[in-house]
Structure 1
Amino acid sequence: MVKYIKYRYSTQSLTYLHLIYKYLIAFPRKPIYLQNKKAMNIKDFTEDPEVTELIAKIQTKNPKVSDTLDDQGNQYVDIVMEGGGVLGIALVGYTYALEQAKIKFCSLAGTSAGAINAMLLASVKPTKYATISEELIDIISNKNFFDFVDGEPYVKKIIKDVLSEQPMIWVGIKNLFNIGKLIRLIKEELGLNEGKNFEDWVKQILETHQINTTRDLQNHRNTVASQLKLKEGVTGNTVFTSKIAIIASDVTTQTKVEFPLHKELYFKNSDEVSPSKYVRATMSIPLFFKPFTVQNLPTNQETLWKDTVGYEGEIPKKINFVDGGTLSNFPINVFHLSAGVPRKPTFGVRLGKDRQKFNSIKTFLKYFFAIFNTMRYLHDYDFLLKNRDYKHLIGMIDTDGHNWLNFDITDEEKLDLFKRGVRAAADFLEKFDWEGYKKLRGTLG
């Protein structure tokens, strides 16, 4: 049997298996007692005792965070959110807490899970509830995230088994005869899951709120911007713009892509493209999801490619996109003003703390992932080192103990992540000093 396995699977194939293991197995697994019970609803989140206590504390403080307002007295900020798979539920908790403090969002950006929250916050209009975040809570409370695992039945079974409490050796034995198919699938299709269920889910949400095209999205954001003004006594530019920036990685031309800014490079009739495609591009987790592909690109665009993204080669017939986090998982620089005092801050939200300890590199896999993680965060870290004032704008959500790829997440885990987001927002607002930050920016020239 041992000889057969050695013959059957090459060293390259075993490397694929190790990568799958790293993604799915080498993370905290779901305790056996955490099982879904009754269907959740929005009240399970918003009426949780800890959440209501934190929201009351925030509202009592009534934090002043911006000089940009609307006629209802809501304050407006720009916001950038980090990627992190299902940990993005914590981002919903964070933005819910901000909205409960009458803090709304002008420009929004993110990668992967951060991009999902950014797109929905930028598109959804309050209909059933008072705030956009409450609409999002209603959406996620009823969503089975394992629906996003839309590969072949044997793929779903293996992933489900891996995320269960079963011993890993037993998972391997049970699925032994599917391992070959799994490896072939990755080699031929470059990923385990289509990602279509996810794209269709986002598209349906957007269309429910009359966002069918990129033009619809921009028109909606223009409407938001037109309602903004500076608070009394503050002078400056009173023409506001509301942008959205979804970061994706074009691995075909080695381009860090910002949608919808770069849409004309990739899509004909780009104003008619559904924004759900931008989010699908940024959430293409390598191996787990197949790359998002775009074919039949606009022709005769060589000058535009060179001027916008610096690519000078032949325009490919097909582009593969993978998770934007492979190039920039926290694109905090996207709305940066290099000089002057801003009239609204750019808040950043991170999922977990990085660089708290050094990498212990004792195996090839640890070496590989140390290189990978260094590359994906290098640009973001470099920007933060050169712009240290941003440390006053960034909130950190503690996500320890949660697996970013646990699409089989339980209701209890959803609620825990949401509460961690609310908790982090309350802590951030308690410490943030808008007037002090403006004074600091005034000294930077």
Structure 2
Amino acid sequence: MKKRCDAVFEGGGVRGIGLVGAVYQMERSGYTFGNVAGSSAGAIIASLLAAGYTGEEIYEEMKRVNYFKFKEKHLLDYFGIVGKLLSILFHFGIYSADYFEQWLTELLSRKGVYTFGDLKCGSHTGHCKYKLQVTASDITDEELLVFPRDFHKFGIMADMYPIAKAVRMSMSIPVFYEPFILRDQSGKKHYIVDGGMLSNYPMWLLDEGTTEPQYPTIGFKFCEQKECSTLCKCNRMNIVEYMGQLVSTMMDVYDKGYIAHSQGDLQRSIQIPVHITVNGTDQKIRTTDFAITSEESQALFQNGVNAATEFLQRWDFHEWKQKYRLSEKNKTDR
């Protein structure tokens, strides 16, 4: 029997293959996805699910990806560390995301999906007007953006805007990728970067915790095993890698605080380890580990499968709703 859920996906760069493993296992267990949301890598997975891809299909596509192509270089980048620093100075980022946008556009087009108008939810209104929502960060106005609903701030018709461009904004890790530029109706430039800067795990987008839901909103997020937190593929980093890792570390702050103060969110989250063991060696996969091997990808995928399996063994939506929604409602009604 098919079971519907909405889903929110955390950002995590190349670690997103772990999200795919969890999606794959959920579908094998009879779940289908309704509305979806995500940030960064989570926005990529969400967009493909919204377009009609299955977890298995996404995994097959991910296995074919050459992640090095996502690091599209400027001319300056061929001059080593100095060139990369100059790219940051002149382009506000080391790499272009043009190739990524072309790649995602191609995948979406295979399902006949191009713009947000292709993902409308029929009669639904408000924040559920579209099946997909992604976060981005406007560093010009220092505010969180949610697409497609915030396109009106730039005089953009949401129905006509390419999904791949919105996801590109959501995954543009500061320093690593150059920011995307939008202009508002006054002509002012807005520099848009990774949604994870302000909300890397936007559970609140699909369920703000104030209503009694008909079906669950399940989160897909990453977790670190504390005893392995010092392990990393690279023991040494240059200044550019350090800057990228610093930004990546900062991304989780907003949502960790939100989750800590929101009852029931961790209980409805599939927590996928970012540490793997390959050939007897334990290591942590970082957001920007574009040199990830097929063995490492498979291990991350399996982490997702295992995490979803463990989640489903203890998950009971009716119990969760009774504890975190109905009991709170009864307290309010007294």
TM-score normalised by the shorter chain: which range applies? 0.7 to 0.9
Cα distance in 1, alignment partners of residues 229 and 274 from structure 2: 19
Match of 1:443?
Answer: 327
Query: CA contact under 8 A between 2:174 and 2:244: conserved in structure 1?
Result: no
| CA deviation profile, 1:97-119 (whole Å, cap 9, x unmatched) | 00111101111111100111011
Match of 1:81?
Answer: 9
Among 433, 437, 443, the alignment partner of 2:316 is 433
Match of 2:165?
Answer: 277
Cα distance in 1, alignment partners of residues 229 and 106 from structure 2: 43
Uncovered stretches (5+) of structure 2, i.e. residues with no partner: 231-238, 276-283, 330-334
CA RMSD of aligned residues (A): 2.8
Match of 1:139?
Answer: 61
My pick for the range that moved more, 103-112 or 178-187, is: 178-187
Give the CA deviation at 1:322. Answer: 0.9
Name the TM-score, length of structure 1 as normaliser: 0.63
Give the CA deviation at 1:358. Answer: 11
User: Does the C-alpha gap of structure 1 residues 380 and 79 become closer, same or farther in structure 2, counting only changes over 3 Å?
Assistant: same
Query: CA contact under 8 A between 1:353 and 1:396: conserved in structure 2?
Result: no
Q: Match of 1:209, SS?
A: coil
Uncovered stretches (5+) of structure 1, i.e. residues with no partner: 1-72, 126-131, 158-176, 226-239, 300-314, 360-364
User: Does the C-alpha gap of structure 1 residues 413 and 252 become closer, same or farther in structure 2, counting only changes over 3 Å?
Assistant: same
My pick for the range that moved more, 99-108 or 399-408, is: 399-408
- Written as runs of structure 1 = structure 2, the 5 A alignment for 1:36-435 is 73-125=1-53, 132-152=54-74, 155=77, 178-218=80-120, 221-222=121-122, 243-295=131-183, 297=184, 299=185, 315=186, 317-353=188-224, 376-400=251-275, 401-435=284-318
Task: Pick the structure with more strand per residue.
Answer: 2
Match of 1:171?
Answer: none
Q: Match of 1:444, SS?
A: helix
User: Does the C-alpha gap of structure 1 residues 154 and 188 become closer, same or farther in structure 2, counting only changes over 3 Å?
Assistant: closer
Cα distance in 1, alignment partners of residues 299 and 248 from structure 2: 26
Q: Match of 1:409, SS?
A: coil
Instruction: Indicate the structure (1 or 2) with the bigger Cα radius of gyration.
Output: 1
Give the CA deviation at 1:202. Answer: 0.6
Q: Match of 2:220, SS?
A: strand
Give the CA deviation at 1:375. Answer: 5.8
| CA deviation profile, 1:393-415 (whole Å, cap 9, x unmatched) | 01111112212211122111111
Query: CA contact under 8 A between 1:110 and 1:118: conserved in structure 2?
Result: yes
Q: Match of 2:252, SS?
A: helix
Query: CA contact under 8 A between 2:136 and 2:195: conserved in structure 1?
Result: yes
Give the CA deviation at 1:385. Answer: 2.9
My pick for the range that moved more, 345-354 or 325-334, is: 345-354
User: Does the C-alpha gap of structure 1 residues 141 and 423 become closer, same or farther in structure 2, counting only changes over 3 Å?
Assistant: same
Q: Match of 1:222, SS?
A: coil
The count of corresponding residues between Structure 1 and Structure 2 is 307
My pick for the range that moved more, 429-438 or 379-388, is: 379-388
Give the CA deviation at 1:379. Answer: 3.1
User: Does the C-alpha gap of structure 1 residues 415 and 376 become closer, same or farther in structure 2, counting only changes over 3 Å?
Assistant: closer
Cα distance in 2, alignment partners of residues 261 and 442 from structure 1: 30
Give the CA deviation at 1:75. Answer: 0.8
Cα distance in 2, alignment partners of residues 370 and 140 from structure 1: 23
- Counterpart of 1:392 in structure 2: which amino acid? Q
Among the aligned pairs, what percent are the same residue?
31
Q: Match of 1:347, SS?
A: strand
Query: CA contact under 8 A between 2:119 and 2:130: conserved in structure 1?
Result: no
Cα distance in 2, alignment partners of residues 284 and 373 from structure 1: 11
User: Does the C-alpha gap of structure 1 residues 329 and 274 become closer, same or farther in structure 2, counting only changes over 3 Å?
Assistant: same
